[in-house]
Structure 1
Amino acid sequence: MEVTVMLDTGPPPHRARAMPRTLLLTGLFLALAGSITETAGQSATAEAELRRGIDAYVQGDTAAALRLFDRAIELDPHLAEAHFHRGLVLASRADARATNYRDRLEAQASLETALRYDPNNPMYLLELGKLMLKQQIRLDAERIFNRALDAAARADAATLAEVHYQLGLMRETQWLRFSIRHNLPFNVSHLDANAAFRDSRYVWDLLEASMKPGGGEEDRERMLEHFRAAIRANPAHIGANTHLLAYLYDEGMTDEYLAVARQFVRAAPSSPEAYLALGLGLHRAAKVDEAAGAFEVALTLMDPALREDFENIARILSVEAEKTYSSLTPAQRREYERRFWAQADPLFLTAANEFRLEYMARMAYADMRFGIPEYGLRGWETDRGLIYVRYGEPVRKATFAPPTTRTTDMDALGKVTTVWAYGRDGPVFVFRQNPGYRRAVFAGDFEFYAEDYRSRRPAVFTTPSIPEQFDLPVQVVRFRGPNGALDIEVHSLLPLARLGSDAAVAEGEIEFGLFIQDEKAKELQRDTRTEVVAFRGDSAEANRIESWRITLSPAPQYLVGVEARDPLTWRSAAGRVVVPATTFSAGTLGVSDLLLAHDVEPLTAEPVQRHDFRVVPNPAMRYRADEPVSMYFEIYNLLPDADQFASYELELTVTIEEIERKGPAIAKLLGELADKWGLTAEGSDVVQLRFRKEAHVRARDMIPEFFKIQLPGAPEGRYRLKLTVRDRNAGRTVVTEREFRIGNDDGEEPR
């Protein structure tokens, strides 16, 4: 019996099964109605299984999700949505490598089946196009994306934005290859990763000899068109915004970058990615306080797991420090991070911690440029992202096409090679990736190389808001303080001329200050000042000595810093000294540190305290050749005799630790010095000069002393002073040491 049924062209199959519209043979009505009722029941059950499968996938149980989707398809083979979600699950778990296509092929079959039942669904087309990109079927992928684009134009704005974004990603992959593409010299078939591993100069020289062919402009323009179209359709689209911003950042288009980033924040005010992007741009523009604010908002918007990963500093620690850090409880790690950043802060003078901001900026950029959401990879989890977070932007980078001739480097076959060089002397990092793929991994042994280099330099930070920072000489001297406390004198040399060398004005403000932290990075002292100084004219100072004397409570150690900054040019100078604590116990023979000076002169016939001396400190502890070396120190708790007199001997030994000049003339020079100074023992190759002094004075619990010595013929180099104090009455000795240098410095020190 023949029955003709005309079907309504109503809702698509993935939403509702088609229903009969006209029955020409009424004799079959009841039977067909029964069949329809049964089919409707199966469809409802299939829909229920589909919903359960989606819930299972959301909970992370892909195996259960696939079983439920298969059950839904068994109940209703025409249920397009079940085929679609089955394809999504298989595509999401497909391996990121070029091998192992099984899941991808099954995913493709499921998505194509979904499209057979709903041929103009833009989301189905979009996911099939993305899958084909994974399989490197680029032409078919672009064709399907364009179909999706046509369909999306008739759909909702979010779908249209996503299709434009995916098309932009496809073009971006091509553009990134061409933007730094280099052609190897004709006599070089491929970049040898093993040679690069052994010698960083091999890469640098190869880059010098290679040519950049250009190209890729069409891909760049199409990429930008799609990203901007995606943002017009959906201003809050995270992917389109971040990839457009990554391009603007790479090209140094800071003004446009900030305009797009601010629009992104307005459109997506609850997105941490939006605030990270804004913070990155503000950091590039050296708007330090605004950048800090944007990054803090981003942190508050992150879920706890993401924030913990973002703030985890293990990636920039040495291997040994990482072991310690990783063994801590969450609360202990937070304290470790606080101390780490407090001590890493390059300028205590400013409110923001510039290096912590640099870290967050690098993390933001790494995620923006190297993140692969379809594989669940944040940018800092990739090999390139990790190196970027540690060392920042390389000095030079390039990509090389896969080798076209036979090669012994099997890892290079069919792979694009990317090199990052941080200077001719390294470090150098080499990555490999399959053509068209966005993820690159360390080539050969470069994962080992990265860990080895990390053991020597875990991370290197610079920051736009500190364009130039000079070393600021600091000398810290420990004296006995009142009631068991410690007094320290801090002497520094502010390089005023260097800070204001670009100043267009005759005078300007300089900020400077003293900062002291304990071993837990708790601030104990902050003394900041702002003064107007002359940069031009007769009153201009090239350098200025600034000194402080501070009383501190006992602690295991102190971090003492002195800083200066020109708020107009942002030039700065900083010096940091870690000072171990010491105690001067009552009744125990003790001696202070040696305060090295350009000159020390008693102001009275019988000086009894520090203020009875005129001391011109030498913060750099560096002297010109044949310049006298002066020093001040204090002796504590000499034992008095029956007549209340103290008797002591002083021996000062000067030892050459290192001579800066090299060559055969050194042996002759040392021989001449040995004749002048005398050797400490027969056969010794250590040249020393000894000075002795004896005194018999009325006993006090503190006796100030000084030396002024000449070092005839002393060559440039590093020297060690060793002062031994012997208490004749008690038969006890105490020793203190200090290093200094002889040789000219860049700047003339004040006298």
Structure 2
Amino acid sequence: MKFSILNITLFTVICAITFTFPQNLIDEINHSHMSGLQSLKTGNTEEAVSYFKVAVDSFSFADSYYELAKIYFDKNTVQSRTISRKYIQKAIWKDETNIEYRLLQAKLMEKFSRKMAYHVYQNILNIDANCTEALFNLGKIKELDFYEYNNSVLKVGSDPSLSFDEFAIEDYLQAEGFFKRTIKSDSTCLAAYFHLSCLYQEIEDPQKGIPLIKKIIAIDPDNKQAYTYLGLLYYKTSQMDSSNFAYKNALKLMDEKQKNEFKYQSSSFLVDESLRKKFNNFSSIEFEESIEKFWQSSDPLLLTNYNERLLEHYSRVAYSNLKFSVPENELYGWNTDRGEILIRYGEPANRLRYRPYISAGGRTSLKLKTDLWFYKDKVLGFVDEYWNGNFRFSTTRPYSRHISQFAGDTDFFVKDLRRNEPENYEPKFIGPSINVPYNVVQFKNLDGNSRETDVYVNYAMNLSNLFNPDDKFPIAHKYGLFLLDGKSYVRNKKTDLLLKTKPEKNIKLGLNEEYQINSIGLKTKPDSLKMAFEIMRISDNAVSANHFYYKIKSFSIDELDISDILLSEEVNESGTSLAIKRGKLNILPNPLNEFTSISSIYIYYEVYNLSLDKNKTANFEQRVTLSKLEVDSGVEEIWSSVTDFFGFTNEEDKLTLINNYKAYNKNVPVYFQIDMSKYSKGNYILSIEVEDMSHKTTVTSETMLRWR
């Protein structure tokens, strides 16, 4: 019954007799209640309580009981909630169909028992089947029950014996139904969209949650929580561009404190321990710069316009805040024990919750609610010791009556983990990961007096296992070669899109094994740096990402030097242009370094700074040695034929080819073809030694060759 100061008739039923209060009493009730409301507006709660108590003590006025119940409810103490419960019950006795009263009673019951609150909300639906607030809160209660009992067991004896999954499924279905009814009752109830989306995410169906969160943003474009959660859902469904866009919008909407915690403070778990110790002495700018540098160096795929590792981190933080926050303690999920582990190592492969129980055998003890997280190489335990939802690392307490149901000491174990394994991340890309064979070779840059080095990354795209054989461009792909300095800034790069295959660049190793070869060349200064070679196939977004530290050689200006050895399928002087052009020579590398009876084996290298005699002639000796890594009887069968053909000498388990050359340039490219048709299969080390016959100086280079 709504209170009206214009026309109020109060009914008191005693012994089936109805009395009507005189007008002067009604005026007094009006004055007391309205004065109480006015005091609340001015922030004078104590005065308001006095006025409302006059109204209830003298006249048992329902609305005043209700206002008193709200005041004591807001005090949020055990004693005040008990008083609030007394007042709201009296208000309901006076007006049993008043939904506002019952909604407050239900909120109050949630502080005591979700089950008690559930029944109150159900009673409200008996009065008004479309009460949005009751429907929504029933959904929340069942959602929490689902989270509580999903993957949950009661441990009896040494093994789990009673699963609660059946109850959890029932809770899930009821929660889903209540949220859907809420949205039908009020299509602007943003919280219902959000919680229904969370429910779908929890059953590993995040795609169903995306349109629900987009609906929130359509209604409230500045909802940072919705953008944050949308980023998580997009990430879980491998929609990386959309995830990146959502997180960027969320960060724009956060205030400085929220942004600092979400982006920077949460990252401090992951950096090197020696750097983390310095954070206390850093200014805020220095701290943020160090975190930005960390994320820049962690980017696993430079071909994309977003950092996959950072998206993974944002998603771990978003999930932690969603699942592990304890609002009553003003504790965000990322800053809890479970949040720390999830941010460091990602979501576990499996989780199990042990229900609490009292063990009465011998010394009575309470077996605490315990969560077990199973990773492929470790198991971690967490306990809710204080029954407040803040699960802490499980630890052994021999004399305590409150006992974790996990036998290990997670608290001790994590201290060691932080030092030895600060994080774990397996790159997640928009498409599958693929293996693209490649190698890296270096030559001296011969443009004038350049001190730079020519670096080539050669790679092979498999034509035998295409994603879609009917595709017009079956191996179309983006490629990228990046050279990064010590601060992970890109110093040099080359990227491009290749669509068509070129038959002249194919190599065949078997009846059903064929590859398309491509080479990426960069000119750069000698240095030790990080190299990133990346491929992204267009047809299925498959990715090959290879990041490694590499030393760019410094070739001598005037002393004898030699390049890397390039194993190739073909080398020609005037034929079709192939993958690499060195001077007048066209070269088709074999980056697999594997050869068969149907492929050709060319050896290519360059020798630099040979001394020229008075006739401008360079004289040098080439010694090619082929050594089998694992010796077997088949090697000996080819000695005679090889020595007959190439002039090899036999020194124990080695084949050595010696040739003398004359050249008319101090920088000389050398190539030749070898025949291994009579060699036994296996892995070989190919070593080339060049001796300048004038100065008697030598240089060597070697590579691996696999004969199949």
TM exceeds 0.5? yes
Q: CA deviation at 1:561?
A: 1.0
Q: 1:253 to 1:560 in 2, by over 3 A?
A: closer
What 5-or-longer segments of structure 1 have no aligned partner?
A: 1-7, 12-19, 24-31, 52-68, 92-103, 192-208, 660-665, 677-686, 745-751
SS at 2:194 equivalent: helix
Q: CA deviation at 1:524?
A: 2.5
| Residue from 442, 446, 451 that aligns with 1:484 | 451
For 1:591, give the aligned amino acid: I
Q: CA deviation at 1:245?
A: 0.9
Map Cα deviations across residues 519-563 of structure 1 (whole Å, 9 max, x no partner): 23326323322424599xx99984211113322355542424141
SS at 2:167 equivalent: coil
1:528 has 2:496 as partner = yes
Instruction: Provide the aligned C-alpha RMSD in A.
Output: 5.5
Q: 1:488 to 1:377 in 2, by over 3 A?
A: same
Please give the alpha-carbon distance, in whole angstroms, between the structure 1 residues aligned to 2:593 and 2:282: 41
Equivalent in the alignment of 1:443: 394
1:566 has 2:504 as partner = no
Please give the alpha-carbon distance, in whole angstroms, between the structure 1 residues aligned to 2:442 and 2:489: 20
Q: CA deviation at 1:244?
A: 1.6
| Residue from 318, 323, 331 that aligns with 1:377 | 331
Q: CA deviation at 1:722?
A: 6.3
Q: 1:430 to 1:587 in 2, by over 3 A?
A: same
| Residue from 513, 519, 532 that aligns with 1:547 | 519
Please give the alpha-carbon distance, in whole angstroms, between the structure 2 residues aligned to 1:602 and 1:565: 32
Within 5 Å, which residues of 2 pair with 1:590-605? 590-597=561-568
Q: 1:514 to 1:266 in 2, by over 3 A?
A: closer
Equivalent in the alignment of 1:510: 476
SS at 2:443 equivalent: strand
Equivalent in the alignment of 2:13: none
State whether residues 416 and 435 of structure 1, in contact with CA within 8 Å, keep that contact through their aligned partners in structure 2.
no
State whether residues 174 and 216 of structure 1, in contact with CA within 8 Å, keep that contact through their aligned partners in structure 2.
yes
For 1:552, give the aligned amino acid: T
SS at 1:367 equivalent: helix
For 2:461, give the aligned amino acid: L
SS at 2:605 equivalent: strand
Equivalent in the alignment of 2:215: 263
For 1:314, give the aligned amino acid: S
State whether residues 235 and 243 of structure 2, in contact with CA within 8 Å, keep that contact through their aligned partners in structure 1.
yes
Equivalent in the alignment of 2:149: 178
Within 5 Å, which residues of 2 pair with 1:619-658? 619-622=591-594, 631-640=603-612, 646=618
Please give the alpha-carbon distance, in whole angstroms, between the structure 2 residues aligned to 1:107 and 1:707: 93
Equivalent in the alignment of 1:471: 435
Q: 1:698 to 1:517 in 2, by over 3 A?
A: closer
State whether residues 303 and 534 of structure 2, in contact with CA within 8 Å, keep that contact through their aligned partners in structure 1.
no
| Residue from 373, 397, 403 that aligns with 1:420 | 373
Within 5 Å, which residues of 2 pair with 1:305-320? 305-312=257-264, 313-317=267-271, 319=273
Please give the alpha-carbon distance, in whole angstroms, between the structure 2 residues aligned to 1:371 and 1:741: 57
Within 5 Å, which residues of 2 pair with 1:312-461? 312=264, 313-317=267-271, 319=273, 330-331=284-285, 340-341=294-295, 344-402=298-356, 413-423=366-376, 426-433=377-384, 438-444=389-395, 445-450=409-414, 452=416, 455-456=420-421, 458-461=423-426
State whether residues 560 and 577 of structure 1, in contact with CA within 8 Å, keep that contact through their aligned partners in structure 2.
yes
Please give the alpha-carbon distance, in whole angstroms, between the structure 2 residues aligned to 1:491 and 1:295: 37
SS at 2:553 equivalent: coil
Please give the alpha-carbon distance, in whole angstroms, between the structure 2 residues aligned to 1:409 and 1:384: 30
State whether residues 599 and 617 of structure 1, in contact with CA within 8 Å, keep that contact through their aligned partners in structure 2.
yes
Please give the alpha-carbon distance, in whole angstroms, between the structure 1 residues aligned to 2:626 and 2:274: 37
For 1:521, give the aligned amino acid: Y
State whether residues 648 and 728 of structure 1, in contact with CA within 8 Å, keep that contact through their aligned partners in structure 2.
yes
What 5-or-longer segments of structure 2 have no aligned partner?
A: 1-6, 11-21, 55-63, 93-99, 396-408, 504-509, 576-580, 641-651
Map Cα deviations across residues 350-393 of structure 1 (whole Å, 9 max, x no partner): 44444443443443333333334333333333444444444444
Please give the alpha-carbon distance, in whole angstroms, between the structure 1 residues aligned to 2:537 and 2:280: 37
State whether residues 246 and 365 of structure 1, in contact with CA within 8 Å, keep that contact through their aligned partners in structure 2.
no
Q: 1:671 to 1:697 in 2, by over 3 A?
A: closer
SS at 1:620 equivalent: coil
For 2:325, give the aligned amino acid: G
Please give the alpha-carbon distance, in whole angstroms, between the structure 2 residues aligned to 1:650 and 1:324: 55
Q: 1:703 to 1:111 in 2, by over 3 A?
A: farther
Which is further off, 621-630 or 516-525?
621-630
SS at 1:484 equivalent: coil
Within 5 Å, which residues of 2 pair with 1:135-154? 137-142=113-118
Within 5 Å, which residues of 2 pair with 1:274-293? 274-293=226-245
Please give the alpha-carbon distance, in whole angstroms, between the structure 2 residues aligned to 1:236 and 1:450: 45
Map Cα deviations across residues 55-76 of structure 1 (whole Å, 9 max, x no partner): xxxxxxxxxxxxxx8x998999
State whether residues 183 and 213 of structure 1, in contact with CA within 8 Å, keep that contact through their aligned partners in structure 2.
no
Q: Work out the percentage of aligned pairs sharing the same amino acid.
A: 20
SS at 2:464 equivalent: helix
For 1:268, give the aligned amino acid: D
Map Cα deviations across residues 444-493 of structure 1 (whole Å, 9 max, x no partner): 43345456556347222454721x21121221112222322221122101
Within 5 Å, which residues of 2 pair with 1:45-84? 50=44
TM-score (norm 2): 0.69
TM-score (norm 1): 0.66
Which is further off, 227-236 or 213-222?
227-236
State whether residues 111 and 124 of structure 1, in contact with CA within 8 Å, keep that contact through their aligned partners in structure 2.
no
Q: Return the structure number with greater relative CO, CA threshold 8 A, min gap 6.
A: 1
Please give the alpha-carbon distance, in whole angstroms, between the structure 2 residues aligned to 1:226 and 1:49: 37
Please give the alpha-carbon distance, in whole angstroms, between the structure 1 residues aligned to 2:361 and 2:276: 39
Please give the alpha-carbon distance, in whole angstroms, between the structure 1 residues aligned to 2:363 and 2:441: 59
State whether residues 472 and 562 of structure 1, in contact with CA within 8 Å, keep that contact through their aligned partners in structure 2.
no
Map Cα deviations across residues 164-205 of structure 1 (whole Å, 9 max, x no partner): 555433322322243323577x8x5247xxxxxxxxxxxxxx
| Residue from 535, 540, 550 that aligns with 1:579 | 550
Map Cα deviations across residues 235-259 of structure 1 (whole Å, 9 max, x no partner): 6666544332121123344554232
1:247 has 2:218 as partner = no
Q: 1:127 to 1:177 in 2, by over 3 A?
A: closer
SS at 2:434 equivalent: strand
Please give the alpha-carbon distance, in whole angstroms, between the structure 2 residues aligned to 1:612 and 1:543: 25
